[in-house]
A and B are shown apart, each in its own frame.
Chain A
Amino acid sequence: DAGITQSPRYKITETGRQVTLMCHQTWSHSYMFWYRQDLGHGLRLIYYSAAADITDKGEVPDGYVVSRSKTENFPLTLESATRSQTSVYFCASSEAGTANQPQHFGDGTRLSIL
C-alpha cells in the first residue's frame, strides 16, 4: 500500500546504545522530516531532507544522525542514546516545497530509553 511507514512501532533500549528508527515512503516525495513529540512541547523538528543526499538540521538535532541515500528512505540514528531522548518520533514527507503542500505523517515510533 502507498504511504509512509515507520519501524519499529515500539522500542526499548538502554542508555549508551545505538538505535536506528526507519522511515519509508512510497510517494517519491522530495522532502522528508523527523520530529519528536513530547508533552508540553508539541512537535519539534530534528532533521529534514530536501532530496537524496541533502539533509539539514532542525530545531533539536543534537544527539541524532540522519542519512538519505535513497529518496524513499530516511533513517534516524541515535548514536549513544540518553534518557532525554525518550519520546515518540514521527517521520513525515511532502512533495517539492510550496506552501500549499501538506506533510504526511507515519504512525510514529515510541522509544523508551532506560
Chain B
Amino acid sequence: GNSVTQMEGPVTLSEEAFLTINCTYTATGYPSLFWYVQYPGEGLQLLLKATKADDKGSNKGFEATYRKETTSFHLEKGSVQVSDSAVYFCALYSSASKIIFGSGTRLSIRP
C-alpha cells in the first residue's frame, strides 16, 4: 500500500543554516505530494504541494521537488530562521480525499 517515510528527528540547526528534510514515498501511480507544518500548540497547516512529477512546490522560502525517479520529495530551505522551529510532515494523497502522513520531523533552530 501507499506509505511515506521521512527522516527522523529531532533536527537542530543554527539560524541561517541550510535545511534538508528527506522524504520518500511508496505509491501506486503518481499521487499529489504535500508538506505540512505544525507549530507548537497548533494543528497542521499546508506548507506546499506538488501535483505531478518534476513539479516544484514552494512557500515561505521552502521548496520541494517531486522526483518520480527516486520517489522522493525532500524539503529544503536555504536559510532557516528561529520562527521555522516546528514539526514537519511529508504526506501523499491516497484516495477519497484521504492523505497519508509521515511520522513527522521536529526541527529546532538555535539563534
Interface set of A (CB-CB < 8 Å, partner B): 4, 31, 33, 40-43, 45, 48, 50, 56, 58, 90, 92, 94, 96-97, 99-108
Residues from chain B with Cβ under 8 Å of A43 in the complex: 44, 89, 101
Q: Are B42 and A107 in contact (CB under 8 A)?
A: yes
Residues from chain B with Cβ under 8 Å of A94 in the complex: 97
5 A-B contacts (beta carbon < 8 Å): A42-B104, A90-B44, A102-B46, A103-B44, A105-B44
Confirm or deny: B77 has a beta carbon within 8 angstroms of a beta carbon on chain A: no
In the assembled complex, the CB of B55 is this many whole angstroms from the nearest CB of chain A, namely: 11
Q: Are B104 and A50 in contact (CB under 8 A)?
A: no
Q: Are B43 and A50 in contact (CB under 8 A)?
A: no
Determine chain B's interface SS by DSSP, over half rule. Answer: loop
The listed residue with most A CB atoms (<10 A of its CB), out of B34, B41, B49, B93, is B93
Interface set of B (CB-CB < 8 Å, partner A): 31-32, 34, 41-46, 49, 51, 89, 93, 96-99, 101-104
Residues from chain A with Cβ under 8 Å of B44 in the complex: 43, 90, 92, 103, 105
Residues from chain B with Cβ under 8 Å of A96 in the complex: 97
Of all chain B residues, which has the CB nearest A40?
Answer: B103
Cα(A45)–Cα(B49), bound, Å: 20
Cα(A50)–Cα(B98), bound, Å: 10
Of all chain A residues, which has the CB nearest B51?
Answer: A100
Q: Are B43 and A106 in contact (CB under 8 A)?
A: yes
Q: Are A99 and B31 in contact (CB under 8 A)?
A: yes
In the assembled complex, the CB of A61 is this many whole angstroms from the nearest CB of chain B, namely: 13
Of all A-B residue pairs in the complex, the 7 with the closest CB atoms, nearest first, are: A105-B43, A97-B97, A42-B103, A102-B46, A99-B32, A43-B101, A31-B97
Residues from chain A with Cβ under 8 Å of B96 in the complex: 48, 50, 56, 97
Residues from chain A with Cβ under 8 Å of B104 in the complex: 42
Residues from chain B with Cβ under 8 Å of A100 in the complex: 32, 49, 51
